Every structure is written in C-alpha cells, then in structure tokens.
C-alpha cells in the first residue's frame, strides 16, 4: 500500500473490537516515534505504552473516550516540564558516543543549545517540549496506518489523572496527548464506513513558484 492509501485508510476510531495488536507491530510504531524529528534533536518527551487492562480502565475513568479502556494499547506522550542543562549534556554525550567523536569536539554545540534554552522562561520551554510531542504523535499515526493498525489520537482525557497514575510528576513530565491502538469494530463504529472529509488541497495549499 502506498502512503496516500494508508492515510486514507486510517481514521480516528471510535469503537475497537477485542483483537490485540502484536508486540512486533507495537514495537515498529514505537521505533517510528523514536525516529521522529525534534527541535535541536533533544526529544524532550517520553512515551508510555500501556497494555495493562486495569490501568487502561482507570486512565479512561473521567473521559468520554471509551477508546482509552477498549484499545489494545494506549500510548501516552509526556513532555518534560522544563529543559535543563542535564538534558543538553545527555544529548551531547550521546552524540559523541554514537558518532565516535570526543565530547570536547561538541563543546560549541553544547554551549549554543544550553545557552539558548536559558534565555527563555520555563513556561516557554515547556510549551516548546509539548509541541515536540505532537510531531511524535503525527509519526505514530502514520506508522500505525502503515502497519494496518487502527488508532485514535486524543486530547479528551484527564491529564491530572494520567500524571498521577503514571507517576509523571516525579519524573518531571506531564501528559500532553494520547494515541490508542487496536482494530476497528466494523459493525458498531459509526465512522467505519463514512467517507473521509478534508478541505480541498488547493484551498489548503498556496503554491508560490
């Protein structure tokens, strides 16, 4: 299947059947998320993949989205509350290791990134980190469609409840957006057979040649 066919096939599923997504497919989706672009390459977020039934039920308690509990797997995207020197140092060390260069060769890189984030408020950096999670969400949506796994991106959840149940505060993280994975229930999902609705391409795009 080509990319456009994959994207036409996917939709935000409202009702899942009970089939579970294989670990191989979940791992491929997580791998794709890990390969997402992020500003400065800092990847200022973490992803939690929840398949525990009891925990999914608790996470879905305050939400109108039954997909939280009914999905096979639930991916929770959680951004860091702040950008610290430690984050920049960790990336610099990883780059040195992965590329086989001494850390001293990356000193200019470290200083420019570290000092840039220090010119901004924690609130600005937090917002920046949240934006990066949405890039990861986009990658995950495409990866899931490519794996023929259904999914639902959701902002309709209780972030305070998620943060508490997943212990995110202690990790200096907060939940921003979630993606459920599973397989559509063809019979009871009212969206399953409806045409996808998008504004015309030439209304969305202005070409400047």
Ligand X SMILES: Cc1cc2nc3c(=O)[nH]c(=O)nc-3n(C[C@H](O)[C@H](O)[C@H](O)COP(=O)(O)O)c2cc1C
Instruction: Report the interface residues with ligand X, using CB under 6 A.
Output: 11-12, 14, 65, 152-156, 177, 196
- Give me 204's structure tokens: 């969305």
3-state SS, 2-16, equals: CHHHHHHHCCECCCE
Minimum CB separation from ligand X for residue 67, in Å?
7
Nearer of residues 120 and 196 to ligand X, judged by Cβ: 196
Name the one residue in this structure whose structure tokens are 């791992």: 27
Task: Name the minimum Å distance from CB 72 to ligand X.
Answer: 16
Nearer to ligand X, 65 or 92 (CB): 65
Cβ at position 137, least distance to ligand X in Å:
7
* Neighbouring C-beta atoms of residue 43, cutoff 10 Å: 23
Min CB(190)–ligand X separation in Å: 11
117 or 128, CB closer to ligand X? Answer: 128
Residue closer to ligand X (CB basis): 155 or 164 = 155
Spatial neighbors of 158 by CB under 8 A, at least 6 apart, are: 61, 62, 63
**DSSP per residue, 97-154:** HHHT--GGGGHHHHHHHHHHHHTS-HHHHHHHHHHHHHHHHHHHHHHHHHTT-EEEEE
Minimum distance from residue 181 beta carbon to ligand X (Å): 14
In 19-121, where does DSSP find H-type helix?
23-34, 53-59, 67-70, 85-99, 107-118
Residue among 50 and 154 whose Cβ is closer to ligand X: 154
SS3 54: helix
What residue is closest to ligand X based on CB? 156
């Amino acid at each position: 299947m080509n990319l456009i066919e994959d994207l036409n096939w996917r939709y935000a599923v409202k009702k899942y059947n009970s089939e579970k997504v294989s670990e191989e497919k979940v791992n491929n989706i997580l791998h794709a998320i890990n390969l997402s672009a992020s500003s400065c390459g800092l990847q200022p977020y973490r992803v939690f993949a929840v398949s525990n039934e009891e925990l999914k039920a608790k996470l879905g308690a305050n939400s109108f989205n039954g997909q939280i509990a009914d999905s096979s797997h639930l991916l929770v995207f959680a951004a860091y509350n702040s950008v610290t020197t430690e984050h920049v140092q960790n990336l610099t060390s990883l780059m040195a290791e992965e590329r086989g260069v001494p850390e001293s060769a990356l000193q200019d890189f470290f200083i420019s990134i570290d000092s840039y984030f220090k010119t901004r408020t924690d609130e600005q950096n937090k917002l920046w980190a949240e934006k990066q999670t949405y890039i990861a969400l986009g990658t995950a949506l495409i990866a899931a469609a490519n794996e023929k796994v259904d999914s639902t991106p959701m902002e309709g959840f209780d972030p305070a409840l998620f943060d508490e149940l997943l212990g995110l505060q202690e990790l200096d993280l907060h939940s921003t957006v979630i993606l459920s994975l599973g397989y559509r229930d063809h019979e009871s999902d009212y969206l399953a057979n409806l045409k996808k609705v998008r504004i015309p391409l030439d209304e969305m795009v202005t070409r400047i040649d």
